Amino acid sequence: MEQTLSIIKPDAVAKNVIGKIVDRFESNGLRIASLKKIHLSGADAGKFYEVHAQRPFFGELVEFMTSGPVVVIVLEGENAVAKNRELMGATDPKEAKAGTIRADFAQSIDANAVHGSDSLENAKNEINFFFAGREVL
């Protein structure tokens, strides 16, 4: 059993498709261990994406992630990290396979609907970044 972090990004929240995205997780064997809607500050987004601090798109990424509320979710299930990445599809929605969340709900490489942890170690750190232990059930 693994846990991983998903973020429904501001573009998908603005499109009112939180429920449709959560349904993709639940319909594919993942359970919701925790979920909340928050508006990230610039400091939150900068810290969360600090591995990308030197990349040319970092400023836009922080600006986008703070442009509106997001929904942060702890997903739980067998191979949850890889399963979530598979359901999300490629970073660039133009390259995402048909039927993936990004193919169906994203419009561009920055407004790409969802985030998902890319390793079990990062998943643990990202869950701790957003949730207290008592909030994850």
Active site residues: 115
Q: Is 61 in the site for ligand ATP (CB under 6 A)?
A: yes
CB of 57 vs ligand ATP, minimal distance in Å? 4
Count of beta carbons in the 10 Å neighbourhood of residue 121: 10
Q: Based on CB atoms, which residue is closest to Mg ion, 49 or 107?
A: 49
Q: Which of 58, 45, 48, 33 is nearest to 125 (CA)?
A: 48
CB of 69 vs Mg ion, minimal distance in Å? 20
CB of 118 vs Mg ion, minimal distance in Å? 5
Vertex 101 angle, CA 99 and 104, to 5°: 65
Q: Is 109 in the site for ligand ATP (CB under 6 A)?
A: yes
> Cβ(68)–Cβ(14) under 8 Å?
yes
The single residue listed with the structure tokens 């939150």 is 44
Would you tell me which residues interact with ligand ATP (CB under 6 A)?
52, 57, 61, 91, 109-110, 112, 115-116, 118
